[in-house]
Every structure is written in structure tokens, then in C-alpha cells.
Structure 1
């Protein structure tokens, strides 16, 4: 199963200058719990934005048209190669950025979508438009803002409606 993990602002924004628009420790904790022990697929910009390089306890796969060295990660030239690499794993995760989300969305079976309840007009990176008629919501969990998380969020678990 191919799953997408993404946090999206109310205006569809996901980043600015190759960085996140927010720091939400609770969402980062959920991300770690969800992806640990699994393969993760990301683009080269996302890989380079990771503060400590390859994410530990996960198989890091970097999807890039250009073959490069990605310390601690494997390289895939196309979405199809990345899919072959994960084979029949129970669940593999696509973690960004925008071009990789767009390329992998047709293959996705599930989306873990964190809706950040704020707008970021200065953002320069956006998640592709989702056709919600293709998706069913399995669950929705609300998380209020608190002293460590500046924005309220809602975690939506979506599955493709075949």
C-alpha cells in the first residue's frame, strides 16, 4: 500500500523556500510513529531539507530524475522504480515535496492529511488539488493549539474509493 503523509494549510500551502511553514511537535511525533519501520519516498529537495539527513529507522528512497549521492538513502529515477523498490511492503509512505506528491498521488491508496488551521499567503509550495470524490474519510481527529503547537490541526485519514 502506498500512503501519502502531508500537512496542508487551509490555502493548500505546504512550504516556503524548501522548509515547512510551521513547527508542530505533536504532528511531527505522529509522523515519526506512523513512518518508523517503513520505507519513505521523497524528492531530493525534501531529503536535503532534513536537518540530520536520512531519517532513522526507515528505508529512505529519494525520487530524482538526476542520479546523485544521497547519504543513507537509495535513489529511484521514476515513480515506477520507487514502487518496484518497495515491492509488496505492507505500507510505504510518500513524504514530499510537491512534485513528488503530484507524481505519486495516482498510485496512493491512503492519505494521512493533517489540516493546519491557518493560511500562509507567503508560501511558495502547494499540495496538488485533491478530487475528494475519489477519497473516503476513515477517521478525523481534532487537535487544539497549545503551548507547544501554535496552530490547531485536524488529522484526516483518507482511503481511495475504488
Structure 2
């Protein structure tokens, strides 16, 4: 999954100066707020996966959560960094699109749904074609950037008023 970032000019310097004035209390406040915004971004990604009907399994949806091996979640306190993503190999393919190769998939049809079964003698043949991506990550990032900008302005004003 591609890593994207939001750069705010002067933010580090402002936080550094406020931190000196508050004996580090602002740093702790900012770290808590940053983690909360990370959870908000995860929620936006999950909502976009659902809205765009990206997959009908929950593996991709659940890969955007904090705490298991398929997740990328990193918060660094001193560097003020938050990384969010998925280690699933197909997460970027579902977002960006990809070429599907011609191949046989073993399994069974139950009505209109196909169930994969590696030991089945029956199955389906996939044809080579371009699978369009849904852009769930890109949409979530655009939504989050708008939310983040307003939330940061409010939070900075709150911190300035408090400290």
C-alpha cells in the first residue's frame, strides 16, 4: 500500500516552542490526539471499503485496524509520525486496479456465489482482463484531509487557550 502523508509547514516548530513552554505536557496531549486521528482515518478507510463494495470478504476490511500482523500502524512520539496501512498483498490492487491473469480456480457454485475449495475437481476459469480499482484509499484520504485540517485548527486553538 502506498504511503501518503500530510505535511503542515511550521507545525513542528510551533509544537517545539509550545512544548518548551508547557514542560512536555503538550507533547503528551498531541500524541493522544494523533492516535485518535489515526483511529478516525482507519474508520474512514473501512467506510470507503464498504461504500465502494471493494470486497465481499472481511479480510481487507479488518486489515485496516490497529494491532494484528496484517496491519501497518506506527506512531512515533518525537517524530510526530503516524503511519496507517495494510500488509495484505492485494490491498493496493483493490484500490488501484490490476490485471487478472487467465487461470483455473477450484471450487463449487452455490447458487450465485462461488466457494473456493482447493481440493475440488470443479471450478471456474478466469479470463485475462483488467479489474478496475475502487479507489477506497484515495477517497478516504481526501475525506480525512478535510476533516483533519479543521480538527487540527480547533485543537491548536484549544491548546493555545489552555497552555
Q: What TM-score range do you get, normalising by the shorter chain?
A: under 0.3
Q: Which has the higher helix share?
A: 2
Q: Which has the higher strand share?
A: 1
Q: Which has the higher contact order (CA 8 A, sep 6+)?
A: 1
Relative to the length of structure 2, the TM-score reads 0.27
Q: Which of the pair has more CA radius of gyration?
A: 2
